[in-house]
Amino acid sequence: MMDFKLVIPLASSLLATGAFGSTEIIGSVDSKCIIVSETPGVYGNPNPYQLTTAPSSGGVKPIIRYDVLVADYYKAVIDHPEEFTSSPTLDDVVTWTGDVTVSEVSDTNMSDYDTNKVEYNNSHEYELTVSGSTWFTVSSTADYGSTKSFPAGQYTAVVEAECIPL
């Protein structure tokens, strides 16, 4: 007598084999706030003890442009300089003054940014409540000693501009 066996592959045997899978989800975020240095600043030297960006004193005020693609998600923080990043050796105190103003707008509603800005130390903080481009002009003046002459040489200072997500 012959025996017939039906061989049926069991699905459980397949399922019984251990399996593991994973897949990636990749995303990138482009900033919706872009900072562009439109005009580099230049210090004029109207007096031996003074460096200033005032155009009337031979200086050039730096201009920074903020392009905001989405309103109400960012704030701009701009610091006018408080020190030289490079300069001859200075053995006396430098007194720094400066300011930041909105000099140009792409929307009339940006024109009250200056009214609503918050100032602390050398920082100027603006809430970017309107999408579009805003131009900020920075002024900076450095007085050396009381009326002491700056040593000859190259002087460099930096304006820091940040776009901080709210």
The verdict on 47 binding another protein (CB under 8 A) reads no
Give the position of tokens 């920082």. Answer: 123
Q: Binder to another protein among 39, 45, 106, 129 (CB under 8 A)?
A: 106
- Binding of another protein at residue 105 (CB under 8 A)? yes
Q: Closer to another protein at the Cβ: 82 or 114?
A: 114
Among residues 22, 34, 125, 24, the alpha carbon closest in space to that of 76 is found at: 125
For residues 47 and 106, which CB has a smaller minimum distance to another protein in the complex?
A: 106
Q: Which two tokens stand for residue 25?
A: 């989800």
Q: Is 107 in the site for another protein (CB under 8 A)?
A: yes
Q: Are 33 and 66 in contact (CB under 8 A)?
A: yes
DSSP 107: S
User: Is 108 an interacting residue with respect to another protein (CB under 8 A)?
Assistant: yes
CB of 132 to another protein, least distance (A): 8
Specify whether the CB–CB gap between 44 and 54 falls below 8 A. Answer: yes
Within a 10 A sphere around the Cβ of 133, how many other Cβ atoms?
A: 17
Q: Using the rule CB under 8 A, is 39 a contact of another protein?
A: no
Whether 44 contacts 57, CB under 8 Å = yes
The reply to whether 95 sits near another protein by the rule CB under 8 A is no
- Which one of residues 39, 57, 103, 129 is an interface residue with another protein (CB under 8 A)? 103
Nearest to 55 by CA among 92, 95, 103: 103
- For the bound state, the minimum distance from the C-beta of residue 111 to another protein, rounded and expressed in Å, comes to 4
Q: Which of 111, 147, 149, 156 binds another protein (CB under 8 A)?
A: 111
For residue 147, state whether it binds another protein (rule: CB under 8 A): no
Choose one: 3-11, 72-80, 97-105, 118-126; the region binding another protein (CB under 8 A): 97-105
Residue 117 token pair:
């800005």
C-alpha–C-alpha distance, residues 140 and 160, integer Å: 12
Contacts with another protein, residue ranges (CB under 8 A) = 102-112, 114-115, 133, 135
